[in-house]
Amino acid sequence: MTNLSYRLREGAYATLQPTLSPAAPRTIGVVSYNIQNAIATSRYRHYVTRSWKHVLPDRQRSTNLERIGEWLAPFDLVGLQEVDAGSFRTGFMNQAEQLAYKADFPYWYIQTNRDMGRLAQQSNGLLARYRPTELREHRLPGFIPGRGALHIRFGIGEQALNVIQLHMALSKRTRLKQMGFLAELVNAHRHVVVMGDLNCRSDSEELAWLGRRTDLSEPIHGLHTFPSWRPRRNIDHILISASLRVQRARVLGYPLSDHLPIAMELGLPEGVELPAA
C-alpha cells in the first residue's frame, strides 16, 4: 500500500482544503458514473457526429462538467469512469479535480489507464468526503492494456471500509479474467464496495461467477443505465459485501454522458468509522 501523503508513480493524488467537517457517518451516499469525458452523447448518431470531441477541445464540455459537479454534491463517495486527467481535448483540465472543487469534495484521486500524452488521459477517478487511509492502483488483466482499478481504504484493520472502483473490458473473455483478479482483492477484506462500469448485465455469466466466489451481491437488479437517452442495459453496478446494508438504490436522471449514474445509500456496520476530513 502507498501512503496518501505521497504522489504515486502513475496517476496523481491531491488533498484539497476541506470546507466540510462531517462527523463519522452511519450511512453514506455512493455514486458510480461513467461521464464519457463530459461529451454529453444523447443519440446513437452522436457517436459519429461528436466523435471529434474525443480528441479536440469543446467549449460545452466545461459547462457539462459544471452541471455534473452540481449533481454530485449531495453524495459522500463518487467513482468516476472515462474521466480525463488533463489533456488537449479538455483544455488540460483535470476533470476529477474540477469536479472535486465544484462539488466541494476535500479529497480526490485519479488513475490514468490510457496515457496518450497531450492528446488524451483516459482515467478512473474518485471523490471522497472522508479521508482515505490507503490506496492502491491496479492494472486489470487483459489482451489490450488500458483498464484499471482503484482500491481505496477508509479506516484500519478488519473494520476498514474497502472501496474498489473500476472500468472493465468490452470482451467477455477478458472480463472473466478481470473478475478472477477482482475476487482475490475482495476476499482479502470484510467490508467491501465494488462499483463501476462493468460492461456486463446483472444476469451475466461474469457476475454470476463473481457471486459464487465472493460474498458480494447486487441488492437491486435491472437498474438500467445505458444508453442514457433510452436505458435498456444495466452495465453499471454497485456491489456490496454481506456486512453492509442497503437503504436505497436508484438510477439518477443525469443525461450528460452516454451512461446514467447509479446511486446507493449504504448503512455501515458497527465498528466501521470513516475518518473525517
Averaged over successive runs of 10 residues, the pLDDT of the chain (277 residues) comes to: 33 42 75 94 84 83 94 97 92 94 95 88 95 94 88 93 96 96 96 97 96 94 94 96 94 94 94 80
Phi, psi (5° rounding) for residue 145? -70, 160
Establish if 206 belongs to a structural domain.
yes
- pLDDT confidence of residue 55: 79
Establish if 245 belongs to a structural domain.
yes
Establish if 49 belongs to a structural domain.
yes
Model confidence, pTM = 0.89
Establish if 277 belongs to a structural domain.
no
Phi, psi (5° rounding) for residue 180? -65, -45
Are 38 and 81 in contact, with CB atoms under 8 Å apart? no
Nearest in space to 259 (alpha carbons), one of 46, 61, 41, 12: 41
Nearest in space to 95 (alpha carbons), one of 104, 86, 103: 86
Residue 184 is placed in which grid cell?
Answer: 482475490
Establish if 70 belongs to a structural domain.
yes
Establish if 230 belongs to a structural domain.
yes
Place of cell 469525458: 37
Establish if 19 belongs to a structural domain.
no
CATH number at residue 242: 3.60.10.10
Establish if 18 belongs to a structural domain.
no
∠ CA 215-216-220 to the nearest 5 degrees?
130
Q: Which helix (H) or strand (E) holds 47?
A: helix 46-49
Q: What range does the domain containing 256 cover?
A: 2-12+24-267
How many CB atoms neighbour CB 242 within 10 A? Answer: 12
Instruction: State the total domains in the chain.
Output: 1
